Amino acid sequence: MNQKTIHKSIDMKKGQQFPLTIKRLGINGEGVGYFKKQVVFVPGALPNEEVVAEVTKVNPRFAEAKVVKIRKRSKERIEPLCPVYEQCGGCQLQHMNYSATLREKRDIVRQAFERHTKLNMNKIAIHETIGMEDPWDYRNKSQLQVAKRGEEVIAGLYAMNSHKLIDLTQCKVQHKATNKVTDVVKQILADFNVSIYNERKHKGVIRTIVTRVGFETGQVQVVLVTKEEELPRKEAIVSEIQKRLPEVTSIIQNINGQKTSIIFGEKTVHLAGEEVIEEKLGDLSFTLSARAFFQLNPTQTVKLYNEVKRAASLTGKERVVDAYCGVGTIGLWLASDAAEVRGMDVIEAAIEDARVNAKNHRFHHVSYEVGKAETLLPRWQKEGWKPDVVVVDPPRTGCDDKLLQTIIEVKPKRMVYVSCNPSTLAKDVDRLCKKGYKVKSIQPVDMFPWTAQVESVTELVREK
């Protein structure tokens, strides 16, 4: 199909302007309107606003546009708190009042189910989104790319659809400790004139500053991601971090020589302090190594895991599988109410952490294995071990096809699906519902205030 046909088929062209009424928010937080019955996505526009839109891109089935003028403002529009909100693109909804974002996130989940399933949504309870009392300073980890701007070292994220780095060391959604530590580390690198990585030329040493803080313990870990193993003035840098930032309890180097946007490489070197930091969730403590996955918003994680516990409906007799278990957080949260918990993950370091965490809590009925659930579940079934409840917390791409097929074959009585992507959730749930499962409830949780992301806990029970 050539470009002319595309333009003709949706009857719009780049640069064209027209009035548009915004009907709802799309999955990426953009306003959605219809011009001559054709869908138009407008970032920055809010539901019920009347805008003048200008087409920026024409696709085969929809157009993208920008706001030229707002003719009728939404009562829910507010002034963003962040000074670089529009350039950064890390948050998408700071121009909307917080309670309205919670309502829209619930609607985004509903839209996904209406689009990707044939389920009767009038019979499925999608509860109100669980939000935060104070939706700021909530992220416990920052991963900021480093660059040189003149003599200054900056650290931040690339602006939307560009290679312009936006300095982000005063980010309003990051825990204040991560902002402070990154800012000081940046200054230390500048003071010692350490070689900074240039993404375009694939030259230089320091690529990324990763900072993670334990909300409950106050411990801070700094990871310097470098292009090569040789880190110039290593001892001086470490000594200066320890001197200027006594709160930093762990200093790590990770080596990533690939030309990639992936943050971490395979090799990690312990530079100073502890190799790990500790964090607490409720009554549980967790040991976190540099590459271990851990939920980014601890305050909301407690609410999320309590919803998982509610959906699992444990009586103390159930065998539970924690698929995609990471460092074991969900399985350990459920352990005191389960007869046995088994978890698995493909990342070996995460499983090592999970085993340490289980041992530290003296949970002898909890075990972890490196591997995929779709391999381990059939093996365990052959050995006579079958789960009553399977909990999945997959990446944004959703559950692996083989895992879904395995769950359908193993037939656990109950499944709890923790999702960070409503579209893949809806597609996976649709497949499970065609094979004997029924959705009891969906509970959205706002893990990332001011962004378009919405996490949810879906409770599924086996009918036949």
User: What is the Cα–Cα distance from 342 to 332, expressed in whole angstroms?
Assistant: 10
DSSP letter (8 states) at residue 159: P
Cβ neighbours for 181, distance < 8 A, ≥ 6 positions apart: 211, 213, 220, 222, 245, 247, 248
137, 213 contact by CB (below 8 A): no
- Check the CA dihedral 115-116-120-121 and report its sign: negative
For residue 421, what are its two tokens? Answer: 């992507």
Q: Taking Cα atoms as reference points, which of 40, 34, 29, 36 lies closest to residue 62?
A: 40
325 is catalytic: no
Active-site annotation holder among 91, 399, 420, 433: 420
- Helix or strand (DSSP H, E) at 309: helix 298-312
User: What is the Cα–Cα distance from 288 to 379, expressed in whole angstroms?
Assistant: 30
Strands laid side by side in the 366-370 sheet = 125-126, 437-445, 455-462, 414-419, 389-392, 319-323, 340-345, 366-370
Paired with 175 in beta bridges are none
Q: What is the pLDDT along the chain (464 residues), one digit of tens a residue?
A: 444 444 446 688 999 999 999 999 999 999 999 999 999 999 999 999 999 999 999 998 999 999 999 999 999 999 999 999 988 889 999 999 999 999 999 999 999 999 999 999 999 999 999 999 999 999 999 999 999 998 899 999 988 777 789 999 889 999 999 999 999 999 999 999 999 999 889 999 999 999 999 999 999 999 999 999 999 999 999 999 999 999 999 999 999 999 998 999 999 999 999 999 999 999 999 888 898 888 999 999 999 999 999 999 999 999 999 999 988 999 999 999 999 999 999 989 889 989 999 999 999 999 999 999 999 999 999 999 999 999 999 999 999 999 999 999 999 999 999 999 999 999 999 999 999 999 999 999 999 999 999 999 999 999 86
Q: Taking Cα atoms as reference points, which of 225, 298, 221 lies closest to residue 255?
A: 225
Q: Can you give the pTM of this predicted structure?
A: 0.91
DSSP, collapsed to helix, strand or coil, labels residue 359 as helix
pLDDT the model gives residue 354: 92
DSSP, collapsed to helix, strand or coil, labels residue 110 as helix
229, 190 contact by CB (below 8 A): no
Paired with 153 in beta bridges are 148
DSSP letter (8 states) at residue 277: E
**Which value, to the nearest 10 degrees, does the dihedral of the CA atoms of residues 286, 289, 293, 297 take?**
60
pLDDT the model gives residue 14: 95
Residues in the chain: 464
User: What is the Cα–Cα distance from 32 to 41, expressed in whole angstroms?
Assistant: 5
